[in-house]
């Protein structure tokens, strides 16, 4: 998980964002002292009674250079905070392959879309522009607009179809994720990996921007090109959040985008309860 923006000093677990610098690094961070086990990933008894879980982004036998995984130490096991899923309306969010309309073989352009007047959460405010490829084959992408006029309240979401690249155009967002807190605004981007739970909140007035949904392999930095070591895409420009967690029992809803459809389940507590984590 990475975000391009200015570093803001803060302490892990305080509810304010703080970051570790680097792209694809092996990070470790804990919001409570001693929450991370030393020398092992899944002890029989974790500190503070936490539960160890692994989130994988690649086959576990993948070569070291392309092996993507993180160990999370959370208050409640994921399987215990899980309800029965039901399919719900995905609104104007579409997934490839999408053949609802025929497109002419000509350039297309449009004027800026005004921010709607009604109250829309992030999930309600996604509008698909175009799709390509096939999400089920883990190939291709989709380009969307997003509009946010209200924060998600007791609502959480994760995308099982692909990773999401946020490109804000107007307004600021706070992304509460399992890995920590990310604040983004115009001039910055943020990537949320496939399967990572989050809640999207407003920081001020309404927000609008672009959302790239990547069905394929994870984003990587471009090669250094003709200017070599002095290239303009450096790992130090990317930031990863430090651990920050919610320990809150409250009836909530978990939304999942999977197979091009949107699903919803009732849960009993916040799933953003990761006290410590290590990985890439």
Domain locations in the chain as residue ranges: 2-24+84-102+113-273
204 CB contacts (<8 Å, ≥6 apart)?
A: 171, 172
pLDDT in tens, 152-173: 999 999 999 999 999 999 999 9
19 CB contacts (<8 Å, ≥6 apart)?
A: 3, 7, 8, 239, 240, 241, 242
Pinpoint the alpha helices (H) of 181-233.
none
Query: Residue 98: enclosing H or E segment and its boundaries?
Result: none
Q: Distance (Å, rounded) from C-alpha 216 to C-alpha 230?
A: 29
Q: Quote the pLDDT of residue 58.
A: 86
Q: Quote the pLDDT of residue 1.
A: 52
At residue 244, φ and ψ (nearest 5 deg) are -150, 135
Q: Distance (Å, rounded) from C-alpha 66 to C-alpha 62?
A: 6
Give, in order, the Cα–Cα distances in Å from 175 to each of 97, 180, 188.
28, 8, 13
Q: Distance (Å, rounded) from C-alpha 243 to C-alpha 157?
A: 19
Query: Residue 176: enclosing H or E segment and its boundaries?
Result: strand 173-177
CATH of 2-24+84-102+113-273, one of 2.60.120.10, 1.10.357.10, 3.40.718.10, 3.40.50.300: 2.60.120.10
Q: Count H helices and E strands in the chain, helices first.
A: 0, 19
Q: What is the pTM of this model?
A: 0.91
Residue whose pair of structure tokens reads 């089920």 in the numeric block? 136
Nearest Cα neighbor of 55 from 248, 243, 208, 278 is 278
**Consecutive 10-residue runs of the chain (280 residues): their mean pLDDT?**
38 69 94 96 96 92 90 95 92 92 85 93 97 95 98 97 98 98 98 98 96 95 82 89 94 97 97 97
At residue 120, φ and ψ (nearest 5 deg) are -130, 130
Q: Are 269 and 76 in contact (CB under 8 A)?
A: yes
Q: Quote the pLDDT of residue 15.
A: 59
């Amino acid at each position: 998980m990475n975000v391009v923006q200015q570093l803001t000093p803060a302490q892990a677990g305080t509810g304010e964002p703080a970051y570790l610098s680097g792209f694809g690094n092996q990070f470790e961070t804990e919001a409570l002292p001693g929450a991370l086990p030393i020398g092992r990933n899944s002890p029989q008894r974790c500190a503070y009674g936490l539960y160890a879980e692994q989130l994988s982004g690649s086959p576990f036998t993948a070569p070291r250079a392309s092996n993507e995984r993180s160990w999370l130490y959370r208050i409640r096991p994921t399987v215990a905070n899980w309800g029965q899923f039901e399919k719900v309306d995905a609104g104007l969010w579409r997934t490839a392959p999408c053949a609802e309309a025929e497109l002419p073989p000509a350039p297309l352009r449009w004027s800026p879309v005004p921010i709607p007047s009604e109250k829309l959460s992030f999930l309600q405010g996604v509008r698909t522009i175009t799709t390509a490829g096939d999400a089920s084959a883990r190939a291709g992408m989709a380009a969307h607009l997003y509009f946010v006029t209200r924060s998600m309240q007791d609502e959480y979401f994760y995308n099982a179809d692909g990773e999401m690249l946020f490109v804000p155009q107007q307004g600021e967002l706070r992304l509460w994720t399992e890995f920590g807190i990310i604040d983004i605004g115009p001039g910055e981007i943020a990537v949320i990996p496939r399967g990572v739970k989050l809640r999207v909140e407003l920081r001020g007035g309404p927000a609008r921007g672009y959302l790239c949904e990547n069905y394929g392999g994870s984003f990587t930095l471009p090669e250094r090109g003709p200017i070599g070591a002095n290239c303009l895409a450096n790992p130090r420009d990317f930031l990863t959040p430090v651990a920050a967690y919610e320990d809150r029992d409250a009836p909530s809803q978990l939304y999942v985008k999977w197979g091009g459809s949107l699903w919803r389940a009732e849960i009993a507590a916040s799933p953003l309860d990761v006290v410590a984590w290590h990985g890439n």
